[in-house]
Amino acid sequence: MAETRHIAAETLCTLTGLTDRRHRQISKDGYFPPPLNGQYQFTATIQGLFRHYRELSQKRNSSTEDEKRKKLTAERKIEELKLARMMGNSLDADSVVRAWQGVIMIARQKLLGMENKVSGRLGFDDHQRQELRKEIEEALTELSKRQIYERIGEDETDDGLDEGGDPVQASA
């Protein structure tokens, strides 16, 4: 049986610049056998340290590459948005919100004014008029509740939409 060469813990610390405690942690992680009487197996320990540093380097490079890829993806999306804005294919969100607020306010006023028009034409009594007002207010309250809509992602298809991008009505 061949004799195994050993390296003293102090010598290994001097060569690697690590503490003996750190060597023992790396050893416990399975990279090389633990020391016996302050002596590490020379070949197994050096190979284990190289393997440890190689894997550590790969992890760092992998996370760096992921960050670079995320940054490039974000920059590409920003440039696509700028291009869409320049071409007139996108709108400012605040402008759209203001426009819709105006439309909704007009619709609300029309619905609330409907009570007087309809009840006068149909000759409603006070109870019928109150019931109509109640129904209109309930409808407006329901419509004012915040709705969560799923965003159609770039990778999703237009299945279920007609040529104009509107939902296709299911036939009964």
Which pLDDT value is given to residue 172? 41
CA nearest to 27, candidates 9, 53, 45:
45
Say yes or no to pLDDT of 75 above 90: yes
Cα atoms in the Cβ-side hemisphere of radius 13 Å centred on 46? 8
CA nearest to 23, candidates 1, 4, 41, 3:
41
Q: Is the pTM of this model over 0.95?
A: no
Say yes or no to pLDDT of 52 above 90: yes
Which pLDDT band holds residue 1 (cuts at 50, 70, 90)? very low
Domain borders along the chain are 6-65, 92-144
DSSP state of 6: E
What residues have CB less than 8 Å from 132, skipping those under 6 apart?
114, 115, 118, 119, 124
| φ and ψ at residue 82, rounded to 5 degrees | -65, -45
